[in-house]
Structure 1
Amino acid sequence: MRTSDLFRNREKAWQNSNRIAVVSYWLRECHLDHGIRSIPPPKDLPLLPTRVIDVGPADGSEDPYLCLSAGRYGLYTCLSHCWGKNKPLSMTLENLESLVQRIDLSTLPKTFLDAVEITRGLGIRYLWIDSLCIAQGDKGDWDYESTRMGTIYEKSYLTIAATAAANSEQGCFQEGTVVKLQLACNNTSPDGDHEHNTVGFIGLEASELRNFFKAPLNRRAWTLQEITLAPRVVHFAEDQMYWKCPHGAASEDGSLDRFTISSDRFTDTNDFASRFLWWNIAEDYSRRQLSHEDDRLRALAHITKAFQQRTGYRPVVGLWQEDIHYGLLWSNVHSSPTRPGMPSWSWLSVNGLIQRPPERIRHAEADLKIVGINVSWSDKEINSLLAQASISVRGRVMPTTWDLEQGKPQILPPSVPKTNSGRRFGNHIPFDDETRFRHYSSKQSPKMISGIGSCSFDRGPDTAGKTIHCLLVSKSAAPRSVHDEARFVWSRQDISSGEEYNVLLLDHNYRRIGTGNIHYGSFTKWVQEVAEISGDSVKRIEDRIWSWLQVTLI
């Protein structure tokens, strides 16, 4: 039976029991397709969290209560939700004893009530909700439980995501309308000899999947690790329910049939797929919000640890040592301000949307030597505030000066004779806040690209007249993509005149202020022009432009 058969005649206010039946169906299908038992044997049951809510039997004949698990094993669900401005019912050391005796259903907000109903309807006994299972206002309990939160979601049987609810009073169940109706059609070939079944969709109401990603739950930083680490998630969105498990996704209307979308969990050991996934997470995380900015690293800690365990990579404040030459070249999309206490070279320093480095430089040839990485923490590694973070490197540095010539930004290498190009690194490295990464055309040849590269500043150009250091990170090889099954494989080519130098732009303290690239062939041609005018050799000119230095990035 297809998912759509369960709700073919669904009306706007669909009964909660029918929706729970769909979730139950998805669970059964997940187990069948994964070849595992629906209920694990006792020896394979996970260890329960320190505290869980015992929701009682499915018929609701008993009130729920807060259970002190004391090392017991069992299946449990988790609730992923937005607290909202008004703090929901919470457990404190003062009311712990009464909650252990009984939780009065009338005191629970609607989202919690729905989670209890869903858990009961699925025949599961235990439910974990952060505000009721972690003692609020107790730093010791929070510090202990927060370090285990990733494991709690990772070992859960199902995570119930109140995706559309901005607070705990709005509930899981929304009165959305199924947006499409799935139809199976029997088609006959033109010659009349062959018949085949196809599936089509009839739109019933306009809806866009992008609205799902803009939902309240998907704008909160803490919830990313909850959804990413959970083995199975059911999203209660504004229009319908969505399902995700390690092998794919499904939607209530059937337009996303089960296992049609790849998962975002760290199950693929392919190196390219793993790194691609991490940057998906980084970009997603950068657009999310936190109530307490001090939680910026902590809310990413469990995803970082999970990725580390699955890949063996070594974390460096949002980057990875095994991927450092690529990772350093991320972009600040909207010139967002920076966060205090974060190293400038980490994308976590940006208070806004970031973008991964271009995929064309994924397999660039490293030109920068990493001398040492110094990261220390105020308390637990990865799961506390940074005490210090710096990267010592040795590489080629070109000191330049930021100038504004005729209203356009120019970068001028010092001590280099003026050429027919005006001695400019200028249209040579154009930057315009509104047209980032766009090259200017020369006035002489409007259809020709003018200049030897481009750059992008992390913030507006406020460094006029000041020294800017261009630190050469890598040399790019133009990638050739080959589609192999479900993944892309990139192969390197030899460095040629069509390649690029990838650089970090640093201020006089060697803090990152942007990124750029220099076209190898155009740069070489420019150096040759300088050599002809000055009478010096190309090598001497290059030595005057690039200096080998050991610097510390902060």
Structure 2
Amino acid sequence: MLTEVLLDTDILYPQLVSNHAEECLPFSTGSTDALKPAKVWLQDCLQYHQDCHPDDFSPGSERLPTRLVDIGDVQGHITPRLVITPNSATLANTPYLTLSHSWAITAVHNIKLSVSNLTTLQEVIPWDGLSQTFKDALKIAQSLGYRYIWIDSLCIIQDSREDWEREALTMSTVYGHSICNLAALDIDGVDQCFAERNPLEFVPCRISKPNAQSTIYAATRDKGLRRFPEPGRIPLLDRGWVFQERMLPPRLLHFGGEQVYWECRHHAISEAHPIKKNFDEYLWTFGPFTPRGKLRALCDTTTEPKARNDLDFTPTSGQVTTMDPTLLKLLQHWQEILTNYTITSLTCSSDRLIALAGVVQTIKFQTGLTYLPISGTWKEFWPLDLLWNFRQVLALRFPSDTGAPSWSWAATEGAKEF
């Protein structure tokens, strides 16, 4: 006698049907019930995932960004204010979150840190002056039990070029040392992290009869097969600055228009697909063939077969064809990172190199390679680092403000292959 009847839609989760929660998903991704699994995912990762430890990936001895937003009480009323971390001895090694968001959306109704309000924002950040995305992010931080969060427009002085350039070079540490990065996935261009949804579109509906010996689960096929958030489908993930914001943190929570998604160095899961092992072939994650995986593979390459400090980065006899195999593997990982990065877009084309500075800093720290900041290349990879071509020549733009030489991949905007 059958105890379950699986529809063809259930090939997506053959074991989940008998294990998923009986109740449906909440109608809002911002509800208390929706945020509960996010907290469980985070705690589980912190406790059991050794490969998700932030110290594995980030350089520098300073554990905190220059500034953080303090939400006040993690259990009561949120009263945000700006804190200057070097001025506070009590903040040493304090855990904090970070936020990825669309400036085009949040900038419309949002206060920004400036030279003139630097002092006043340390007393209080007006709640009414925050965009809904930022308000939601503070609520998420409170729900997860964290008092501090780093938000770029509130923690970098926006009208100070000196402060901006200094802070832009610390992104490897800012994101690499964060507990988790929150991503507001640009839900239909609306200023918010949370979304309303029909739960039955994502979780199978259990259909049963009184005294029946079998159970039927009905699911919507197109919704069930929706993939994990990826560039090309989510506008936020197509942004140049967000590229490294997804690569550097040890953990990420994506708040999309349909679900809340979890991503760490160990696995990727979502509300409707909480059992990661059943969905590897369906979910797009930063695995071995994706940018996040390539960064980790690049940094891990130096641990075998030689120790990092013992690597010889000089091609034998000056011949490129005899380049050290370990170095060649590093080059391949770097080129795949660039292939994905050049697809992204930037409001200011002059940011093309600095928007990748966090990734560069991480690679330098882990490998000891010599970076050439003017061209965006590595000394040890020459001349192979110069071998690239345009994917679509007619779609290229040739900005004049990058400062990169004409032979550099960074001199032009547009998708490239290496």
TM-score normalised by structure 2 residue count = 0.70
Counterpart of 1:209 in 2: which secondary structure? coil
User: What is residue 20 of structure 1 aligned with on the other side?
Assistant: 35
Q: Is 1:174 the counterpart of 2:175 in the alignment?
A: no
Task: Look up the SS of the partner of 1:55 in the other structure.
Answer: strand
Point out the structure with the larger helix share.
Answer: 2
> Aligned runs of 1:436-475 on 2, under 5 Å?
none
Q: Quick one: distance in 1 between partners of 2:412 and 2:248?
A: 24
1:445-475 deviations in Å (ceiling 9; x for gaps): xxxxxxxxxxxxxxxxxxxxxxxxxxxxxxx
The DSSP-based 3-state class of the residue aligned with 1:23 is helix
| Residue in 1 that maps onto 2:143 | 121
Q: How does 1:362-441 map to 2 (within 5 A)?
A: none
* 8 Å contact kept, 1:220–1:288: yes
2:79 and 2:125 in contact (8 A); partners too: yes
Bigger strand share: 1
State the superposition RMSD in angstroms: 3.5
Q: Which has the larger radius of gyration?
A: 1
Is 1:305 aligned to residue 334 of structure 2? no
Q: How many residues align?
A: 336
> Partner residue of 1:407?
none
Partner secondary structure for residue 296 of structure 2: coil
Contact 1:332 1:350 in 2 (8 A): no
CA distance in structure 2 between the partners assigned to 1:15 and 1:292 by the alignment: 33
Instruction: Write the distance in 1 (CA, Å) between the matches of 2:22 and 2:371.
Output: 46
Task: Give 3-state SS (helix, strand or coil) of 1:156's partner.
Answer: coil
Q: Is the 8 A contact 1:78 1:127 kept in 2?
A: yes
1:161-200 alignment runs, 5 A limit: 161-165=183-187, 170-177=191-198, 180-181=202-203
* Structure-1 residue corresponding to 2:404: 342
Partner SS, residue 160 of structure 1:
strand
Aligned AA for 2:267? G
Give the TM-score normalised by structure 1: 0.54
Q: Which residue of 2 aligns with 1:97?
A: 119
Determine the structure 2 residue equivalent to 1:138: 160
1:159 corresponds to which letter in structure 2? N
Other structure's SS at 2:63 match? coil
Separation (CA, whole Å) in 1 of partners of 2:157 and 2:36: 34
Asked if 1:285 is matched to 2:341, the reply is: yes
**Could you tell me how far apart the structure 2 residues matched to 1:153 and 1:17 are?**
26
What are the residue-to-residue correspondences of 1:180-259 with 2, within 5 Å? Answer: 180-181=202-203, 203=221, 205=223, 208-209=226-227, 212-214=230-232, 215-254=234-273, 257=276
Measured at CA, do residues 62 and 223 of structure 1 come closer, stay the same or move farther in structure 2, by a change above 3 Å? closer
Which residue identity does 1:229 align to in structure 2? Answer: L
TM-aligned CA distance change 1:273 to 1:249, over 3 Å:
farther
**What residue is the counterpart of 1:9 in the other structure?**
24
Q: Read off the aligned partner of 2:24 and give its amino acid letter.
A: N
Indicate how the Cα distance of structure 1 residues 11 and 23 shifts in structure 2: closer, same or farther if over 3 A, else same: closer
Alignment match, 1:48? 64
Equivalent in the alignment of 1:314:
370
2:283 aligned with 1:267, yes or no? no
Cα gap change, 1:7 to 1:46, in 2 (>3 Å): farther
Partner Cα separation in structure 2 for residue 328 and residue 18 of structure 1: 51
- The answer to which of 223-232 and 340-349 deviates more is 340-349
Q: Which amino acid aligns with 1:298?
A: I
Superposed displacement of residue 245, structure 1: 1.3
CA deviation profile, 1:391-414 (whole Å, cap 9, x unmatched): xxxxxxxxxxxxxxxxxxxxxxxx
- The 1:7–1:145 alpha-carbon spacing in structure 2 relative to 1, beyond 3 Å, is farther
On the 8 A contact 1:51/1:133 being kept in 2, the answer is: yes
The whole-number CA distance in structure 2 between the counterparts of 1:39 and 1:220 is 24
Q: Distance in 1 between matches of 2:411 and 2:172?
A: 23
Structure 2 distance, partners of 1:221, 1:97, is 31
- Report sequence identity in percent: 29
Give the Cα–Cα distance (whole angstroms) in 2 for the partners of residues 11 and 123 of structure 1. 21
Cα displacement (A) at 1:39: 12
Q: Which runs of 5+ in 1 are unaligned?
A: 184-199, 357-554
Secondary structure at the residue paired with 1:141? Answer: helix
| CA distance in structure 1 between the aligned counterparts of 2:161 and 2:270, rounded to whole angstroms | 40
Deviation of the 1:210 alpha carbon: 7.7
Q: CA deviation at 1:284?
A: 2.1
Question: Could you tell me whether the CA contact under 8 Å between 2:52 and 2:265 is conserved in 1?
Answer: no
1:80 aligns with 2:95: no
Asked if the contact 1:180/1:203 (under 8 Å) is kept, the reply is: no
- The 2-side partners of 1:152 and 1:305 are apart by 12
From 353, 361, 385, give the equivalent of 1:327: 385
Once residues 212 and 24 of structure 1 are traced to their aligned partners in structure 2, the CA distance between those partners, rounded to angstroms, is 23
Matches of 2:334 and 2:219 in 1, distance apart?
33
C-alpha change, 1:256 and 1:306, in structure 2 (3 Å) is farther
- The CA deviation at 1:240 is 1.6
Q: Which amino acid aligns with 1:322?
A: E
Query: 1:32, 1:144 → 2: CA distance?
Result: 34
2:141 alignment partner, SS class: helix
Aligned to 2:5: none
Task: Name the CA shift for 1:300/1:62 in 2 (closer, same or farther; >3 Å).
Answer: closer
Deviations 1:89-132 (A, max 9, x none): 11112222222111222221110011100100111110111111
How far apart, CA to CA, are the structure 2 residues paired with 1:287 and 1:128? Answer: 27
Amino acid at match of 2:370: R
SS in structure 1 at match of 2:236: helix
- Structure 2: state its 5+ residue gaps: 1-15, 56-60, 206-217, 302-325
Q: CA deviation at 1:279?
A: 2.8
User: How many angstroms does 1:138 deviate by?
Assistant: 1.5
Give the conservation status (yes or no) of the 8 Å contact 1:180–1:255: no
Deviation by residue 1:45-96 (Cα, 9 ceiling, x = unmatched)? 9732221111122333351211122253201001111111644311112222
Which region of structure 1 is more displaced relative to structure 2, 308-317 or 29-38?
29-38
Partner Cα separation in structure 1 for residue 157 and residue 222 of structure 2: 46
Structure-2 change in CA distance of 1:62 and 1:338 (3 Å): closer
2:170 to 148, 155, 171: 148
Letter in 1 for 2:65: P
Check 1:25–1:146 CA distance in 2 against 1; reply closer, same or farther (3 A cut): same
Q: Distance in 2 between matches of 1:236 and 1:5?
A: 21
